[in-house]
């Protein structure tokens, strides 16, 4: 049996409710220099426009991609599915609304080769209002706020304590060792990647920020987490649950947890939107109270993690479309 190269890499693209932009992302990855060894699209969309369906099916049929369809929308679950389907030592997760900079795949491979102690590499993420900027590394806080506000549009490499899941590569065996991504995070799954980073570091890993592995995040207004609706006018706990759950799961003592959670509730209504429309403040605070209550209940249970086996997944899952990897 032939061995797999240590720098063999699979790109995993979780997607929900995206059409033309998804096709453009997949086309960029297919045509990328230093092409990945496999591409897996984890599709949580109930249905697609005919042209999107046709293109994905065509790529799938000729073995350019594996197109896996899930019946439940959950970003941690989709990323775990991709992690399990992959058979390469490295797995690179990309958002479904990004523009790849030249050399992205090669830069992730190079970072893992240069820093073998790193269990994960997070690349540069340029938001629509940003440009790559030479920024000094912010002072590293401790506890729940460690690197929470790290500037991922910086051009300076660093060791970090947080990640952005839209441009994140991992050593597959290490990610599986910590159980992948916690599927108790739901809705917008806020802070699920920070939770993953904390568990990775607790297990002994380090995380590198590699600015030469760069993407533009397009922030397409429909699909993805935008399908969960606006958090500004909602009493639904799904918008705040993840942040409270993260704090209650990882906070060091009741003091840090209480300070973080109360600070979040205050910040969520201290916005320009709410100052101009104060009638939404009670609605928002109700959502925060419901989110906190749901998080308190959830932390009484163990995190919902993967089986820590590094073996490939069952090749015949339900509700899937499969092709050659």
Model confidence at 271, in pLDDT bands (50, 70, 90)?
A: very high
**What is the average pLDDT value for the chain, to the nearest integer?**
91
Residue 257 φ/ψ, nearest 5 degrees = -60, -45
Q: Are 204 and 256 in contact (CB under 8 A)?
A: no
How many structural domains compose the chain?
2
- For residues 210 and 67, membership in a common domain is answered with yes
- For residues 24 and 104, membership in a common domain is answered with yes
What is the rounded average pLDDT of the residues 293-308?
93
Q: Give the other-Cβ count within 10 Å of 128's Cβ.
A: 8
Q: Rounded to an integer, what distance in angstroms lies between the CA atom of residue 219 and that of residue 292?
A: 27
Length of the chain as a residue count: 325
**Per-residue exposure over 33-63, b if at least 16 CB sit within 10 Å of its own CB, e if not:** eeebbbbbbbbbbeebeeebeebbeebbeee
- For residues 99 and 210, membership in a common domain is answered with yes
- For residues 212 and 276, membership in a common domain is answered with no
Model confidence at 2, in pLDDT bands (50, 70, 90)?
A: very low
Decide if 132 is inside a domain.
yes
- For residues 85 and 207, membership in a common domain is answered with yes
Model confidence at 187, in pLDDT bands (50, 70, 90)?
A: confident
Model confidence at 163, in pLDDT bands (50, 70, 90)?
A: very high
Residues 68-84: pLDDT tens digits? 999 999 999 999 999 99
Query: For the chain, what percent of residues have pLDDT higher than 90?
Result: 84
pLDDT(323) > 70: no
Model confidence at 298, in pLDDT bands (50, 70, 90)?
A: very high
Q: Are 236 and 129 in contact (CB under 8 A)?
A: no
Residues 208-257: pLDDT tens digits? 999 999 999 998 887 665 555 688 999 999 999 999 999 999 999 999 99
- For residues 258 and 185, membership in a common domain is answered with no
Decide if 1 is inside a domain.
no
Q: Give the other-Cβ count within 10 Å of 322's Cβ.
A: 14
Which 3 state secondary structure label does DSSP give 313?
A: coil
> At 89, which helix (H) or strand (E)?
none
- For residues 193 and 236, membership in a common domain is answered with no
- For residues 26 and 170, membership in a common domain is answered with yes
End position of a domain, from candidates 170, 199, 217: 217
Q: Are 267 and 151 in contact (CB under 8 A)?
A: no
- For residues 202 and 274, membership in a common domain is answered with no
Smallest CA-to-CA distance from 44 within 19, 17, 24, 64 is with 17
- For residues 260 and 185, membership in a common domain is answered with no
Q: Which structural domain range is residue 291 located in?
A: 227-298
pLDDT(318) > 60: no
What per-residue confidence (pLDDT) applies to 134?
Answer: 96
Tokens of 137: 């590394």
Give the CATH number of the domain where residue 89 resides. Answer: 3.90.550.10
């Amino acid at each position: 049996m032939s061995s797999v190269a240590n720098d063999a890499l699979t790109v995993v693209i979780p997607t929900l409710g995206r059409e033309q932009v998804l096709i453009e992302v997949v086309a960029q990855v297919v045509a990328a220099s230093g092409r990945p060894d496999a591409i897996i699209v984890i599709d949580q969309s109930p249905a697609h426009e005919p042209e999107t369906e046709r293109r994905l099916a065509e790529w799938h049929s000729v073995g350019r991609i594996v197109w896996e369809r899930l019946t439940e929308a959950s970003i941690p679950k989709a990323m775990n599915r991709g992690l399990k389907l992959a058979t390469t030592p490295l797995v690179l997760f990309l958002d479904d609304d990004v523009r790849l900079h030249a050399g992205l795949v090669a830069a992730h491979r190079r970072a893992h080769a240069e820093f073998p102690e790193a269990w994960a590499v997070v690349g540069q993420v340029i938001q629509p209002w940003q440009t790559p900027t030479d920024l000094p590394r912010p002072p590293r806080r401790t506890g729940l706020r460690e690197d929470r506000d790290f500037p991922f549009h910086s051009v300076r490499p660093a060791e970090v304590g947080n990640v952005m899941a839209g441009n994140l590569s991992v050593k597959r065996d290490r990610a599986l060792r910590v159980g992948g991504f916690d599927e108790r995070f739901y809705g917008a799954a806020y802070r699920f990647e920070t939770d993953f980073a904390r568990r990775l570091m607790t297990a002994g890993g380090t995380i590198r920020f590699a600015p030469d592995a760069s993407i533009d995040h397009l922030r397409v207004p429909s699909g993805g987490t935008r399908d969960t609706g606006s958090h500004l006018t909602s009493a639904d706990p799904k918008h705040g649950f993840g942040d409270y759950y993260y704090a209650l799961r990882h906070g060091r003592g009741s003091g840090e947890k209480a300070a973080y959670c109360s600070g979040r509730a205050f910040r969520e209504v201290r916005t320009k939107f709410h100052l101009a429309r104060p009638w939404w403040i009670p609605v928002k605070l109700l959502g925060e109270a419901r989110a906190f209550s749901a998080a308190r209940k959830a932390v009484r249970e163990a995190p919902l993690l993967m089986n820590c086996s590094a073996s490939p997944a069952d090749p015949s899952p339900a509700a899937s479309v499969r092709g050659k990897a």
